[in-house]
Amino acid sequence: MSKQKKPSRSANNDLRGVRKETAAVLVAAAVICMVLYALGVARLGWGALRCGAAVLGLYLIVVLLTLLIMERHLRGARDENLAPVMGRIMFDAVVKMTTPVFICDSSERIIWYNTATEALYSAKNKLYGESVKELFGVTLADIRGDGGDAGARIEAEGRSFLAKYSHIKTDEEDFALVLTTETTELDELKSLRAGDEAVVCYIMIDNLGEMMQYDSEEYRPAAARVDSVLREWADNYNGILKEYERDKYLFVTQTRVLDELVAAKFDILDRVRAVRVGDTSLPLTVSMGVSGIHGSYEEKERAAHAALELALQRGGDQAVVKSDDATEFFGGITRSVQKRSNVQARVVSNQLMTQIKNASNVLIMGHTRADYDAFGASVGLAKIAMYCGARVNIVIDTANRDIIGARRMLEGEEEFLGIFVDKAQALDLLETGTLVVIADVNNMKIVESPELAARAEKLAIIDHHRKTAEFEKEPDVEYIEPSASSACELISEMLEQVLPRDDLSPAEAGVILAGIALDTKQFTTNTGTRTFSAAMYLRDRGADPMAVRDLFRESFEDYSGEALFRRNAEIYRSVCVISCVETEEDASPVVAAKAVNNLINIDGVRAAFACMRRGGSTKISARSDGTVNVQLIMEDLGGGGHFDGAATEIPDVSLDEAVKRLKEAIDKHI
């Protein structure tokens, strides 16, 4: 055993020198104080006691200062003696640490490492000169930049560590010291506990009531069959399923089970869809809202409820999974069943009128390049605002040729003189109490003025397209009904509920009817009893079907543009047709929409897509025969719409690249 190193002779000599100097200072101070005191007594007599006290105080101060100086010298001497000993102790401690510690040079090569680092890479003979990037998968810059208070996370040989970076600077070169703390077991424990975290799910049979119009006697047997399918599914995944209301369930499970459900793409949707009611071929469907977020049970329940609402607003027959950083959608392959009741229209119209009456003014807008549906819905909403006595304006692109015909129909209406404004004027009209109403769109990126929507304090949304995601700001009024044929259909129902009979002029009714005719392709697709009921209401208010028909006449240039799409069409996967036009001058979005409406009529085609270049972007219009959900395909490309009609705009990509992405999305869903 090695002996502890003794203090050097020079160090002892230094200590003795410090003591001699201190004693000399104290003796000199005492002599000076005695002389001063004697002089004071000789001159002042015994009244010099106060002077003696002052001299004594001075002496004590000198003594204290001298002792402090002596202590500093002694401590410096002790530190000098202990430095080699402490350095050896610290070095041995670092070498014997149970987690890796290593030193790198400026080129990030290891020049020294402890035994734990050597044991971690026991297969290697030497680690000297090895790159940090090769051993740990990260650079020193990553460790230095990502390391917070806890440290940067690194992986090595199947184990995980938190690494802390320390910079060592010398006269000749800079070095880096990296100390680590192993977290392998802690990470495994966290992963295990994460799999046990609760997941809350709301389930709703979303079309059983509507299906009963075909056979009311089959209601109970059908509900029982769906209940049996759901309970068998819940038992397979060891979850808790409780029916808290008729046709509504609460399902509680664990995160690891949610991972299995996602991997299976929520095949429970297919099992329920296989249940039939009586002799009808229409399937029963369920909607599911799943909360996979972290947080309290109350937060999970709220997130699950919001996810269910989103699933219903997207048309039902799907599962919506909300996590901390994303929202995923599964299912949605069946068309929405239109509800016979328009009770919700009455409720929403009352909510909207309340907001209008409390607003300082009202601004209404649709989507970019508004069509007849967006324009007609805006006109109907403006009539409701006028009935409430509010100041109202409609925000449009005054250069939009697609709505010129509808604007001409309103030229004789005094109420609409000066009511139309552009985006810049609308921003000037925005006030603290302004209500912004958005029609025929729920994607804030493609509204007529995204800036206006973002700055509005009060917001209302009326739309028939399937909801693509949660809103960043919760609207004051939200009415999204994907089963409706058009936004004008929803507005017509609201007008019928609140507007006196003579307050809607024939021209105004005609503009709204044109919106329904556009989205239903002259009442041939996506129609239901409520669609024809809305058309009857508008016809009763004086809408002229002949004037509406004239709005859909096309110019010879548009007719020629459609021919280009027909010539460039190709069949893909036997059931899809894709047509492209490269030159911007040869086509417009309206022409593309008309062309894709004709392409879907090709025998054997289930989905049609018209692609064109426009303003540096590629626009795609999609149509379906009712068997393919083109909304899901367009969502993958950043767009949206509804089941049998959707569109998207892909910025800054070539036409060939856009078609490539389109085919990948088709492969995913067909």
C-alpha to C-alpha distance for 217 and 180, rounded to whole angstroms: 70
CATH of the domain at 362: 3.90.1640.10
Lowest mean per-residue pLDDT among 181-190, 268-277, 388-397:
181-190
pLDDT at 389: 94
**Dist CA 85 CA 4 (whole Å):** 8
Could you tell me if residue 652 is inside a domain? yes
Residue 526 has pLDDT above 90, yes or no: no
Query: What is the rounded average pLDDT of the residues 191-200?
Result: 78
Domain total of the chain: 5
Same domain, 312 and 208: yes
Share of the chain above pLDDT 90, in %: 38
- What per-residue confidence (pLDDT) applies to 11? 47
Rounded average pLDDT over 91-100: 75
Average pLDDT of 137-164? 76
Per-residue pLDDT of 479-504, as tens digits, reads: 988 888 899 999 999 999 899 988 99
Backbone angle region of 484, left / alpha / beta, with phi > 0 → left and psi within -120 to 50 → alpha: beta
Q: What is the pLDDT of residue 96?
A: 73
Amino acid present at 20: K
Domain residue limits at 253: 198-331
Q: Note whether residue 289 is domain-resident.
A: yes
Is the pLDDT reported for residue 42 higher than 60?
A: no
CATH number of the domain to which 290 belongs: 3.30.70.270
Beta 174-182 vs 198-205: how paired, if at all?
unpaired
**Does residue 659 share a domain with residue 646?**
yes
Q: Quick one: pLDDT at residue 39?
A: 55
The pLDDT value recorded for residue 4 is: 43
Q: Categorize the per-residue pLDDT at 383 as very low, low, confident or very high, splitting at 50, 70 and 90.
A: very high
547 lies in the same domain as 423 = yes
The average pLDDT across 12-37 equals: 56
What pLDDT was estimated at residue 591?
A: 83
What is the pLDDT confidence band of residue 667, given thresholds at 50, 70 and 90?
Answer: very high
| pLDDT score for 203 | 95
Residue 507, pLDDT score: 95
Average pLDDT on 643-661 reads 89
Last-in-domain residue among 551, 580, 595: 551
Please tell me whether residues 71 and 116 are part of one structural domain: no
Task: Please give the pLDDT value at position 1.
Answer: 40
* Per-residue confidence (pLDDT) for residue 558, from 0 to 100: 80
- The CATH number of residue 602's host domain is 3.10.310.30
CA nearest neighbour of 132 among 103, 158, 161, 153: 103
| Average pLDDT for 337-347 | 69
Q: Which of 331, 356, 385 is the last residue of a domain?
A: 331
| 205 found inside a domain | yes
Task: Give the C-alpha separation, 548 to 253, whole Å.
Answer: 54
pLDDT computed for residue 587 by the predictor: 63
Is a pLDDT exceeding 80 seen at residue 34?
Answer: no
212 and 296, same domain (yes or no): yes
**Band of residue 68 on the pLDDT scale cut at 50, 70, 90:** low
Q: Note whether residue 2 is domain-resident.
A: no
Quote the pLDDT of residue 66.
Answer: 59
Q: Assess whether pLDDT exceeds 90 at residue 337.
A: no
Average pLDDT value for residue range 422-437: 95
Higher-confidence residue of 20 and 219: namely 219
Residues 318, 280 within the same domain? yes
- Average pLDDT value for residue range 271-276: 84
User: Per the domain annotation, does 428 fall within a domain?
Assistant: yes
Residues 402 and 521 in one domain: yes
Cα distance between residue 614 and residue 587, in whole Å: 9
pLDDT at residue 2, as a whole number: 42
One domain for residues 88 and 106: no
pLDDT at 613: 85
For residues 311 and 330, what is the distance between their CA atoms, to the nearest angstrom?
10
- Inside any domain, residue 338: no
Residues shown for the chain:
670
Express each pLDDT in 283-315 by its tens digit: 788 999 999 898 889 999 999 999 998 888 887
**Looking at per-residue confidence, does 469 or 238 come out higher?**
238
According to the model, what pLDDT value does residue 661 have?
94
Q: Identify the burial level of 619 via C-beta atoms within 10 angstroms of its C-beta, where 0-12 means exposed, 13-18 middle and 19 or more buried.
A: buried
Q: pLDDT band at 460, cuts 50/70/90? A: very high
pLDDT above 50 for 595: yes
> Are 450 and 599 within one domain?
no
- Average pLDDT of the residues in 441-455: 92
- Residue 335's closest CA among 625, 573, 540? 625
Among 551, 586, 605, residue at a domain's last position:
551
pLDDT band at 59 (very low <50, low <70, confident <90, very high): low
pLDDT at residue 336 is higher than 70: no
Do both 219 and 262 map to the same domain? yes
The most confident of 162-166, 462-466, 545-549, by mean pLDDT: 545-549
For residues 353 and 474, membership in a common domain is answered with: yes
Flag whether pLDDT at 438 surpasses 90: yes
Residue 406 burial (C-beta neighbours within 10 Å; 0-12, 13-18, 19+): buried
> Is residue 531 domain-shared with residue 461, that is, in the same domain?
yes
On average, the pLDDT of the chain sits at 82
Task: Give residue 85's pLDDT.
Answer: 59
Is position 3 within any domain?
A: no
Question: Pick the residue with more confidence: 258 or 64?
Answer: 258
What CATH number is attached to the domain comprising 173? 3.30.450.20
pTM of the entire predicted model: 0.63
- Is residue 337 included in any domain, yes or no? no
- Describe the chain by its helix, strand, coil percentages, rounded to 5: 50, 20, 30
Q: Longest Cα pair distance anywhere in the chain, in angstroms?
A: 134
pLDDT mean over 114-132? 78
